Amino acid sequence: MTNKAEARPTIGVIASRYPRTGGNSMLSGIGEQYLLAVEAAGGIPLLIYLSRDAAVIEAHYRRCDGLLFAGGGDIDPLIFGQSPHPKLGTVEPLRDDVELALARRAIEDAKPVLGICRGIQLLNVALGGTLYQDIPSELAESSDHYASAKATGRAHLAHPIVLEPGSWLAARLGTHELPVNSFHHQALCDIAPDLWVTGRAPDGVVEAVEGLGSGFVIGVQCHPEELWESADVRWAQLFDGFVDVARQRALATI
């Protein structure tokens, strides 16, 4: 990835919360690979912990030149007008609240956003779309989209995706088809009006979206933070491009 000499943009990465082993307290954090990918692309990752204090979230938001919405648990289906499916996984109400508010505000402000796994689903819901709550139950002809979790190493390439000609992602990666890892049991269903589907798996499951507005909005269903270093270095260009857009926007607003 490039080592930019210009001012490095700050990329907010929203954290999750985890129970501490053997205790009643919680840990706050996110997978280190997200942070390393942003750092290698020339950005400064800023971990935004989940807080109910609006002033804290506001201060973090103002410091950020772009936002990365990472993987994690399921989004509460009540948010997009559905009852919980029997196969619904763990939901984090506070994370839903914080991320939805940040996503909607960033898109309105044309602040660059990147969504990964849960993140692509979060962007779709934030903009008015819905989700399949459990792929195996709701899409009978689908392939195994949780296959990489059953393999050794998170870089296991489970299936190919096909990217739309003319999409930012296809141009950035230099290809219209490539293999990806896969760790999700949910997927995009009704697509939000302001999103364009730019990638699909062979079974039709949505794997990438891009925004139709003036701002930079990208979502991918795979986990490129686990691929860019060695498994498929083309994914480095996703992070490099995202950070470049955040840098240019930051310079333009000085």
Q: Which of 184, 222, 223, 226 is catalytic?
A: 223
Q: Which of 99, 210, 225, 226 is catalytic?
A: 225
List domains and CATH numbers for the chain: 10-252 (3.40.50.880)
Q: Note the pLDDT tens digit of each residue in 62-120.
A: 999 999 999 999 999 999 999 999 999 999 999 999 999 999 999 999 999 999 999 99
Instruction: State mean pLDDT over 130-158.
Output: 95
Tallying the residues shown for the chain, one arrives at: 254
**Has 223 been annotated as catalytic?**
yes
Q: What is the pLDDT of residue 6?
A: 67
**Judging by beta carbons within 10 Å of its beta carbon (0-12, 13-18, 19+), is residue 165 exposed, middle or buried?**
exposed
**Has 176 been annotated as catalytic?**
no
Query: HSE on the CB side for 7, CA within 13 Å?
Result: 12
Alpha helix positions (H), the chain: 32-40, 54-63, 93-108, 118-126, 135-138, 168-173, 236-252
Q: Which of 117, 156, 185, 222 is catalytic?
A: 117
Q: What is the pLDDT of residue 21?
A: 87
Q: Note the pLDDT tens digit of each residue in 44-60.
A: 999 999 999 999 999 99
Position 19 confidence tier, pLDDT thresholds 50, 70, 90: confident
Q: Answer whether 13's CB lies under 8 Å from 35's CB.
A: yes
pTM: 0.95
Q: DSSP assignment, residue 78?
A: G
For the cut 70, the answer to whether the pLDDT of residue 199 exceeds it is yes
